[in-house]
Structure 1
Amino acid sequence: MASLMVPGLVLAAGPDIKLQDVEGREHNVNEYIGQGKWTVVAAWSADCPICRRDIHHMTFFHDEHRKKNATVLGLSVDGFGDRAKARGFIEDQSLNFPNLIGGPKDASRLSGAMFIGTPTYYFFSPDGRFMTQRIGPVTQQQAEQIIRDLEKPKKL
C-alpha cells in the first residue's frame, strides 16, 4: 500500500471545497471535516474494481466509530455528469456515510498532493488538519491502526 504524508499541513477546519451530493444539493467539505472527530475521506469511482470489492470496509468503520471518534465521507471522482453511476454505486454498496461528487482535481485539493487514483483515503484530524493519505485498499482494521498511529505523540 502506497502512502504519502505531508506533515504539518494545516487546513483550518477542513478544506473549503464546495461539491454536490447525488441529489444536486451543494455541500462544503468542511461541513464534515474538522468537526471534532477523525474523518476518513474515501475517494472512489463507480468503475473502480478495487473500490467495488473493498469499500464495504468503510461502512463497517463508519458504523463502529461515527458515534464515538471518527466518521467517513465518500468522494466520488466520477464527476457530476455521471451522478447516476455514482448513485448506483452508493446503493449497490449500501454506503451508510455521506457521499459527495467531484473529480480528480477535487480529490487533489483535499491534501494538496497529486491525485493518483482510486481508491484513495485521506485522513483528517478532529480539528481538520490533513494528516496522511493511503492509495489503494484500506480495511477497517488498517484505518483504525492509521488513526492510532497518528494519535501517538511524536518523539523528538
Structure 2
Amino acid sequence: MRSRIVLISVAMIGGVGAAAPAPLQNGMPRDFLFADGARVKLEDLRGKVVIVNIWATWCLPCRAELPLLNAYYRRHRSEGLVVIGIAVDPGKAKGDQMVSPGIGYPQARHVFGRDLTVASVPTNYVFARNGRLESIAAQSFDARSIERLVGPLLKAK
C-alpha cells in the first residue's frame, strides 16, 4: 500500500509565514515540527546519528518496531542517537498529544517542504554523524539489523 505524508510548505521569516518549499536533504525534508511545537532542522543534528522512522498506526510491523526503537533510543541517546518518528496517519492523535504515548523519542506531527511519498511503511532513514544518508529501508528493524547498521555509526566519532 502506498502512503503519502503531506508536508506543510511554510517558511517562517521574521515571524511571517511565506509559502516557500524547503528543499529536501538526502531525500528527507530539512525541517520537522514536533508534537510539542518545537521545530528542528536536520542540519542542526549534525554530529548525531539520526533515525527517521515513518510508520502508521494500522501497520502491525510498525507497531511491533516501536518498542524496539524506543529501547534502542533509550540505551544509546547518550551516545548521540536521535530517533524521530513520523506517523503517516497522525489524524488519530488528539490535539498536540504524542502520536504514540509511551515512546521516549520525539515524534513529528509535520515536516516542512514538499510532499514526501513512501512506498511502504515502515520506512527507516538512517543518517551518519556527518549528515550523510547511510540507509533507506522500507522494512522494520529487528534487534540484529539495527545494531548492525546503527552500532558502527554510533562508534564513529
For the aligned pair, the TM-score class normalised by the smaller chain equals 0.5 to 0.7
Which of 19, 27, 51 lines up with 2:39 in the alignment? Answer: 27
Could you tell me which residue of structure 2 aligns to residue 96 of structure 1? Answer: 104
* Deviation string, structure 1 residues 36-80 (Cα, Å, up to 9, x no partner): 12111111112222111221110111011100142211112224x
Could you tell me which residue of structure 2 aligns to residue 57 of structure 1? Answer: 68
* Deviation string, structure 1 residues 98-119 (Cα, Å, up to 9, x no partner): 000248x8783xxxxx511211
Could you tell me which residue of structure 2 aligns to residue 16 of structure 1? Answer: 30
Per the normalisation by structure 2, the TM-score is 0.65
Larger radius of gyration: 2
Match of 1:22, as an amino acid? A
Contact residue 22 and residue 101 of structure 1 kept, 8 A: yes
> What root-mean-square deviation, in Å, do the aligned CA atoms of Structure 1 and Structure 2 show?
3.5
Give the aligned length: 131
Contact residue 99 and residue 107 of structure 2 kept, 8 A: no
Match of 1:90, as an amino acid? S
Per the normalisation by structure 1, the TM-score is 0.66
Contact residue 118 and residue 135 of structure 1 kept, 8 A: yes
Which of 83, 86, 93 lines up with 1:72 in the alignment? Answer: 83
Query: Which segments of 5 or more consecutive residues in structure 1 lack a partner in the other structure?
Result: 1-9, 109-113
Could you tell me which residue of structure 2 aligns to residue 7 of structure 1? Answer: none
Could you tell me which residue of structure 2 aligns to residue 84 of structure 1? Answer: 94
Return the offset for 1:125: 0.9
Q: How far apart, CA to CA, are the structure 2 residues paired with 1:135 and 1:83? A: 24
Query: Which segments of 5 or more consecutive residues in structure 2 lack a partner in the other structure?
Result: 1-23
Structure number having the greater strand percentage? 2
Percent identity reads 20
Q: Secondary structure at the match of 1:73?
A: strand
Match of 2:40, as an amino acid? N
Match of 1:21, as an amino acid? F
Could you tell me which residue of structure 1 aligns to residue 16 of structure 2? Answer: none
